[in-house]
Amino acid sequence: MIVIFDRQHFGKPNRNDMGAGVDLDGDGTIELSEQEATLTPFYYLPSQRLLEKEGHDVIIIDSGYYSDRHAQANAIARANPTEEVIYCACHINAGKGDYAAFIHDSRSGRGESIALSLSQSFQESNLSGVLRSIVRAGSDTNDWKNGYYTIKGIYSGPNNIGGVCLEPYFLDKPEHQWLTTLDGGERVAEALVGGLLKWCA
Protein backbone atom coordinates (compact mmCIF):
# COMPACT_ATOMS: atom_id res chain seq x y z
CA MET A 1 0.00 0.00 0.00
CA ILE A 2 1.10 3.56 -0.75
CA VAL A 3 -0.38 6.30 1.42
CA ILE A 4 -0.10 9.90 0.26
CA PHE A 5 -0.53 12.53 2.97
CA ASP A 6 -1.21 15.98 1.55
CA ARG A 7 -0.55 18.85 3.96
CA GLN A 8 -3.32 20.99 2.59
CA HIS A 9 -3.65 24.77 2.94
CA PHE A 10 0.15 24.85 3.24
CA GLY A 11 2.26 25.54 0.16
CA LYS A 12 -0.34 27.09 -2.15
CA PRO A 13 1.37 29.26 -4.78
CA ASN A 14 1.03 33.01 -4.21
CA ARG A 15 -1.17 32.53 -1.16
CA ASN A 16 -0.42 32.61 2.56
CA ASP A 17 -2.97 30.04 3.73
CA MET A 18 -2.51 28.10 6.94
CA GLY A 19 -6.16 27.13 7.38
CA ALA A 20 -8.13 27.50 10.60
CA GLY A 21 -6.50 29.19 13.55
CA VAL A 22 -7.42 29.36 17.24
CA ASP A 23 -5.85 31.16 20.21
CA LEU A 24 -5.01 27.95 22.04
CA ASP A 25 -2.84 29.53 24.75
CA GLY A 26 -5.22 32.42 25.49
CA ASP A 27 -2.70 35.20 24.90
CA GLY A 28 -5.01 37.16 22.59
CA THR A 29 -3.23 36.33 19.34
CA ILE A 30 -3.26 33.39 16.94
CA GLU A 31 0.32 32.25 16.42
CA LEU A 32 1.61 30.17 13.52
CA SER A 33 1.84 27.25 15.96
CA GLU A 34 -1.93 27.52 16.54
CA GLN A 35 -2.95 27.10 12.90
CA GLU A 36 -4.29 24.08 11.06
CA ALA A 37 -1.47 23.52 8.58
CA THR A 38 1.11 23.68 11.40
CA LEU A 39 -0.76 21.06 13.41
CA THR A 40 -1.65 18.46 10.76
CA PRO A 41 1.94 17.11 10.77
CA PHE A 42 1.35 16.22 14.43
CA TYR A 43 -0.85 13.38 13.18
CA TYR A 44 0.41 12.55 9.70
CA LEU A 45 4.11 12.26 10.60
CA PRO A 46 3.52 9.63 13.32
CA SER A 47 1.13 7.95 10.88
CA GLN A 48 4.00 7.80 8.40
CA ARG A 49 6.25 6.18 10.98
CA LEU A 50 3.64 3.56 11.93
CA LEU A 51 2.83 2.72 8.31
CA GLU A 52 6.48 2.40 7.30
CA LYS A 53 7.06 0.12 10.28
CA GLU A 54 4.38 -2.15 8.79
CA GLY A 55 6.16 -2.15 5.42
CA HIS A 56 4.00 0.36 3.57
CA ASP A 57 5.22 3.35 1.58
CA VAL A 58 4.30 6.91 2.50
CA ILE A 59 4.64 10.04 0.37
CA ILE A 60 4.16 13.57 1.70
CA ILE A 61 2.90 16.37 -0.56
CA ASP A 62 3.04 19.93 0.76
CA SER A 63 3.12 22.35 -2.18
CA GLY A 64 1.22 23.31 -5.30
CA TYR A 65 -2.36 23.98 -6.30
CA TYR A 66 -4.73 21.23 -5.23
CA SER A 67 -5.30 20.23 -8.87
CA ASP A 68 -1.54 19.75 -9.30
CA ARG A 69 -1.33 17.71 -6.10
CA HIS A 70 -4.15 15.47 -7.31
CA ALA A 71 -2.39 15.01 -10.64
CA GLN A 72 0.81 14.08 -8.80
CA ALA A 73 -1.02 11.52 -6.67
CA ASN A 74 -2.71 10.01 -9.74
CA ALA A 75 0.67 9.77 -11.48
CA ILE A 76 2.04 7.87 -8.49
CA ALA A 77 -0.89 5.45 -8.71
CA ARG A 78 -0.38 4.94 -12.46
CA ALA A 79 3.31 4.23 -11.89
CA ASN A 80 2.41 1.58 -9.27
CA PRO A 81 -0.55 -0.30 -10.79
CA THR A 82 -0.26 -3.32 -8.47
CA GLU A 83 -0.36 -1.17 -5.29
CA GLU A 84 -3.37 0.13 -3.41
CA VAL A 85 -2.92 3.91 -3.20
CA ILE A 86 -4.73 6.09 -0.65
CA TYR A 87 -4.71 9.87 -0.91
CA CYS A 88 -5.38 11.68 2.38
CA ALA A 89 -6.13 15.40 2.29
CA CYS A 90 -4.98 16.40 5.79
CA HIS A 91 -7.09 18.97 7.64
CA ILE A 92 -8.37 19.90 11.09
CA ASN A 93 -11.93 21.15 11.39
CA ALA A 94 -13.34 24.33 12.91
CA GLY A 95 -16.86 25.15 14.10
CA LYS A 96 -16.82 23.55 17.57
CA GLY A 97 -18.26 20.19 16.54
CA ASP A 98 -17.87 17.06 18.62
CA TYR A 99 -17.00 14.59 15.85
CA ALA A 100 -14.39 13.33 13.41
CA ALA A 101 -15.36 13.58 9.73
CA PHE A 102 -14.19 11.61 6.72
CA ILE A 103 -15.33 13.03 3.40
CA HIS A 104 -15.19 11.14 0.12
CA ASP A 105 -16.11 11.99 -3.44
CA SER A 106 -19.76 11.02 -3.90
CA ARG A 107 -18.81 9.33 -7.18
CA SER A 108 -16.16 7.09 -5.60
CA GLY A 109 -16.98 3.71 -4.10
CA ARG A 110 -13.33 3.20 -3.23
CA GLY A 111 -13.19 6.53 -1.42
CA GLU A 112 -16.35 5.65 0.48
CA SER A 113 -14.96 2.30 1.62
CA ILE A 114 -11.75 3.93 2.86
CA ALA A 115 -13.73 6.61 4.70
CA LEU A 116 -15.92 3.98 6.35
CA SER A 117 -12.89 2.01 7.53
CA LEU A 118 -11.32 5.15 8.98
CA SER A 119 -14.55 6.15 10.69
CA GLN A 120 -14.96 2.74 12.29
CA SER A 121 -11.39 2.84 13.57
CA PHE A 122 -12.00 6.26 15.12
CA GLN A 123 -15.16 5.02 16.80
CA GLU A 124 -13.25 2.11 18.28
CA SER A 125 -10.38 4.34 19.45
CA ASN A 126 -12.61 6.27 21.88
CA LEU A 127 -10.60 9.49 21.65
CA SER A 128 -11.63 11.68 24.57
CA GLY A 129 -13.96 14.47 23.40
CA VAL A 130 -14.56 12.97 19.96
CA LEU A 131 -18.07 11.71 20.57
CA ARG A 132 -18.81 10.33 17.12
CA SER A 133 -17.31 9.71 13.72
CA ILE A 134 -19.12 10.52 10.49
CA VAL A 135 -18.70 9.69 6.81
CA ARG A 136 -20.04 12.12 4.23
CA ALA A 137 -20.19 12.05 0.43
CA GLY A 138 -19.09 15.39 -0.97
CA SER A 139 -20.12 16.91 -4.28
CA ASP A 140 -20.23 20.28 -6.05
CA THR A 141 -23.74 20.91 -4.82
CA ASN A 142 -24.03 19.72 -1.21
CA ASP A 143 -22.99 20.89 2.25
CA TRP A 144 -19.72 18.94 2.05
CA LYS A 145 -18.43 20.58 -1.12
CA ASN A 146 -15.44 22.17 0.65
CA GLY A 147 -14.17 18.72 1.59
CA TYR A 148 -15.02 17.45 -1.88
CA TYR A 149 -12.80 20.09 -3.52
CA THR A 150 -9.80 18.85 -1.50
CA ILE A 151 -9.99 15.45 -3.24
CA LYS A 152 -11.99 16.18 -6.42
CA GLY A 153 -9.16 15.43 -8.86
CA ILE A 154 -8.45 11.98 -7.46
CA TYR A 155 -11.58 10.57 -9.11
CA SER A 156 -10.02 10.98 -12.56
CA GLY A 157 -7.10 8.77 -11.55
CA PRO A 158 -6.61 5.05 -12.11
CA ASN A 159 -8.70 2.38 -10.41
CA ASN A 160 -6.10 1.69 -7.69
CA ILE A 161 -6.39 5.10 -5.97
CA GLY A 162 -9.02 6.51 -3.62
CA GLY A 163 -9.16 9.82 -1.81
CA VAL A 164 -10.47 10.95 1.57
CA CYS A 165 -10.52 14.35 3.23
CA LEU A 166 -9.51 13.95 6.88
CA GLU A 167 -11.07 16.17 9.55
CA PRO A 168 -10.19 14.15 12.68
CA TYR A 169 -11.15 16.78 15.28
CA PHE A 170 -12.12 20.42 15.82
CA LEU A 171 -9.37 22.89 16.55
CA ASP A 172 -11.76 25.27 18.34
CA LYS A 173 -13.49 22.65 20.50
CA PRO A 174 -12.03 22.84 24.04
CA GLU A 175 -12.56 19.11 24.58
CA HIS A 176 -10.51 18.39 21.44
CA GLN A 177 -7.57 20.67 22.10
CA TRP A 178 -5.54 17.95 23.81
CA LEU A 179 -5.30 16.46 20.32
CA THR A 180 -3.21 19.47 19.20
CA THR A 181 -0.31 18.16 21.32
CA LEU A 182 2.33 15.68 20.19
CA ASP A 183 0.76 13.00 22.39
CA GLY A 184 -2.67 13.78 20.98
CA GLY A 185 -1.30 13.58 17.45
CA GLU A 186 0.06 10.12 18.21
CA ARG A 187 -3.40 8.99 19.30
CA VAL A 188 -4.97 10.37 16.11
CA ALA A 189 -2.26 8.61 14.11
CA GLU A 190 -2.98 5.28 15.78
CA ALA A 191 -6.67 5.59 14.85
CA LEU A 192 -5.90 6.60 11.28
CA VAL A 193 -3.37 3.87 10.70
CA GLY A 194 -5.67 1.28 12.23
CA GLY A 195 -8.34 2.19 9.70
CA LEU A 196 -5.94 2.23 6.76
CA LEU A 197 -4.44 -1.14 7.64
CA LYS A 198 -7.85 -2.70 8.12
CA TRP A 199 -9.01 -1.39 4.75
CA CYS A 200 -5.93 -2.76 3.00
CA ALA A 201 -6.00 -6.17 4.70
Write out pLDDT tens, residues 52-84: 999 999 999 999 999 999 999 999 999 999 999
Ordered by start, the domain boundaries in the chain are 2-200
How far is residue 177's CA from residue 80's CA, in Å, rounded to a whole number?
38
pLDDT in tens, 99-122: 999 999 999 999 999 999 999 999
- Beta carbons within 10 angstroms of residue 158's beta carbon: 14
Q: 2-200 domain in CATH 3.90.190.20?
A: no
Count helices and strands in the chain by DSSP H and E runs: 6, 6
- For the question of whether the overall pTM of this predicted structure is more than 0.85, the answer is yes
